[in-house]
Structure 1
């Protein structure tokens, strides 16, 4: 029980730290294979692809989420011009399920790297990564 509580606290701290860094940068590297980014526009997305050379994108922000200014189809159109694949794995904020973690781990293990994950602030994407890592599901 104590070990599980400690893991939960560490995951929360990692998400908080990542969220704080998101306000200052376009994307934040969680490891050498994966970065996360928050609120996206078409222009910001195109620039990230050009500057940072991502080979795969996982979009965790649902298209219909309040405040979303760009849809996954718009991102996909931009990415396809650079021959970058886009996976749409919408996660409702605060509602990550075990099946979401397993699905993400499958993508992480199989997609070309580096990968960019996108949500509103970077927090839910970071949490998804941290939970999969804590469960030993990622091949690094």
Structure 2
């Protein structure tokens, strides 16, 4: 189910608490929830995922992103979360797209090359070309 961007990060559509043990068994050490509460009827709450993560020995961070866009605070929080984890991270939202975009923005903010970030996103099945101007601005190019 996860779409691997690189050895440090994968993104996925909404996960369920019962998915977490398998994620832990496959090597993930941290989950980042980029989905706002109540976005869709029947989605698990962040607390349910957090409890499942804790039970499986995984770290958990919430950085909810609405479909309307990204704030600098969210970009910085994602960069901080990714920088504080030693091991593979799974970030999820409704489809995985916001998580991939936020990862790329955070990576550009830390100096990542926009062309490389776009290529990594494409390799995982996500088109990041629409945020290229933001990636270039964050990367200082």
Structure 2 match to 1:40: 15
What is the CA–CA distance in structure 1 between the aligned matches of 2:42 and 2:103, rounded to whole Å? 22
- Tell me the TM-score normalized by structure 2: 0.72
What is the CA–CA distance in structure 1 between the aligned matches of 2:111 and 2:84, rounded to whole Å? 12
Gap runs ≥5 in structure 1: 1-25
The alignment partner of 2:76 has SS state of: helix
Pick 1 or 2: higher relative contact order, CA cutoff 8 A, min separation 6.
1
CA RMSD of aligned residues (A): 1.7
Contact 2:18 2:52 (8 Å CA) reproduced: no
What is the CA–CA distance in structure 1 between the aligned matches of 2:18 and 2:4, rounded to whole Å? 20
Structure 1 match to 2:52: 78
What is the CA–CA distance in structure 1 between the aligned matches of 2:34 and 2:102, rounded to whole Å? 9
Point out 4+ residue stretches in structure 1 off by more than 6 angstroms. Answer: none
Gap runs ≥5 in structure 2: 113-141
The alignment partner of 1:70 has SS state of: coil
After superposing the two structures, state which structure 1 stretch, 120-129 or 92-101, moved more: 92-101
Structure 2 match to 1:63: 37
Q: How many residues align?
A: 112
- Tell me the TM-score normalized by structure 1: 0.72
Contact 1:61 1:120 (8 Å CA) reproduced: yes
